[in-house]
Structure formats: structure tokens, C-alpha cells
Amino acid sequence: MITIWGRKNSSNVKKVLWCLEELNVPYQQVDIGGKFGKLNEPEYLRMNPNAVIPCLQEEGFILWESNTIVRYVAAKFGSDSLYPADLQERANVEKWMDWAGCNLFPLIKQFMISFVRTPKDQQDPETLSRILSEIEKLLTIVNGTLNNQSYLSGEKFGMADITLAPLVYLWLNVEIERSPLPNLERWYQLLTKRSAFQKIVMTEIS
């Protein structure tokens, strides 16, 4: 049995749980991090010395880094669906996974801290404006790509969509002014029809 350590409302945990749900892989999930704490307890640090979430435990096998966990789960359980056999197709999927983690995630994290978790009277409008502008530039790139393909992973749903969508969910479900990104919004609506997305991603924002 696979155990996923991490609170359900974390975008990095969501992508892992979503991947497992898409592939109908049995798992158990343990709340840790955020209001649940316990990241610095010895038991968890033995598994993940970085003291962050998520972490996968499968009998004696331990794996951290959310995108790596998604790759592992997709390769082991979804080689006929989520994990492309063609090397170039897989590389095109994985480049978006790395792009989301290296470029978009840090900005979404700043946005959540600066806007969602900070009381309005304590927010810095200049900082927030800069963050929003940088996020929009990145999502414009995604919007352009989705002009020519149905999914970020290509013509089929895949790992790139699983990696990016929880971040876009945060972006689209807070009350801010946004420039129209019709291809991104069309893609997002396509994902909202997936039962695993509804179960895992469309939850509380905190």
C-alpha cells in the first residue's frame, strides 16, 4: 500500500493524489504540514530530511519531490496512459513539469502568502502587482501553447496537466482582476470534468 504524507490542500500533494486517483491506485494519505505540523518530528525527517511535503512511502521505499513522485506513479501504474513510451513525447511532457516547478510554483507561493494569507490592510500593493504581472506572463505562455493542442501534455491528458492544474486552480479561484486567457480557461474547464480533479483539486484554498 502506498502512503502519501502531506495535507490535502497543498498543491504539491494534490498533484500526487490526483495522479493516483486517475490510475485507480489504492493509497492512504496522512495529514502533515500546515496546521497539522509534524514536519520536523524525527519520524518524518527520517523519510524526508527537507521537512516539506509530499512524501511517498511504499513499504521500504521512500520518495520525495512531488514531480518525481508523479513520474514514478505514472511510470509504474500508467505506462499505457499517463507515462509516454516515446522518448520525445515524454520529454515534451516533462519539460512542462519542470517549468511549472521552477518558474510558476515559486510565484504562486508568493501570491498565496502575499494575498490569500495576508490580511488586506497588511498587503503591499506594489509587491502584489509585481507578482501578479509575473504570473500572468507565465500563464500567457501556457495560453499560447494551448492554442495548438488540447492539453499541456499534447493531444492526450497527462503528467504535465496534473502538475500545472493545481496551481492554475489557485490562480483562477481567488477574487482578482485577470486578463482573458481563453485557451487556458478552455483547458481548465476540460479538466474540471474529470472526477479525480473534482475530488482532489477542487477543495479549500488556504
pLDDT at 169: 96
pLDDT at 52: 97
Q: In what order do the strands lie in the sheet with 61-64?
A: 27-30, 2-5, 55-58, 61-64
Helices 11-22/66-77 angle, 10° precision: 0
Helices 66-77/159-172 angle, 10° precision: 140
pLDDT at 98: 97
Q: What is the CATH code for 2-77?
A: 3.40.30.10
Q: What is the CATH code for 87-200?
A: 1.20.1050.10
**pTM above threshold 0.75:** yes
Q: How far is the C-alpha of 119 from the C-alpha of 141, rounded, in Å?
A: 31
pLDDT at 145: 97
pLDDT at 120: 84
* CB within 8 Å of 202: residues ≥ 6 apart: 169, 192
pLDDT at 206: 62
Listed by start position, the domains of the chain span: 2-77, 87-200
Please provide residue 201's backbone torsions phi and psi, each rounded to the nearest 5 degrees: -85, -40
Q: How far is the C-alpha of 165 from the C-alpha of 104, rounded, in Å?
A: 11
Equal CATH topology for 2-77 and 87-200: no
pLDDT tens string, the chain, 206 residues long: the values are 999 999 999 999 999 999 999 999 999 999 999 999 999 999 999 999 999 999 999 999 999 999 999 999 999 999 889 999 999 999 999 999 999 999 999 999 999 998 888 888 888 889 989 999 999 999 999 999 999 999 999 999 999 999 999 999 999 998 888 899 999 999 999 999 999 999 999 987 66
For 128, the 3-state DSSP assignment is helix
| Four-CA torsion 26, 31, 32, 37, nearest 10 degrees | -170
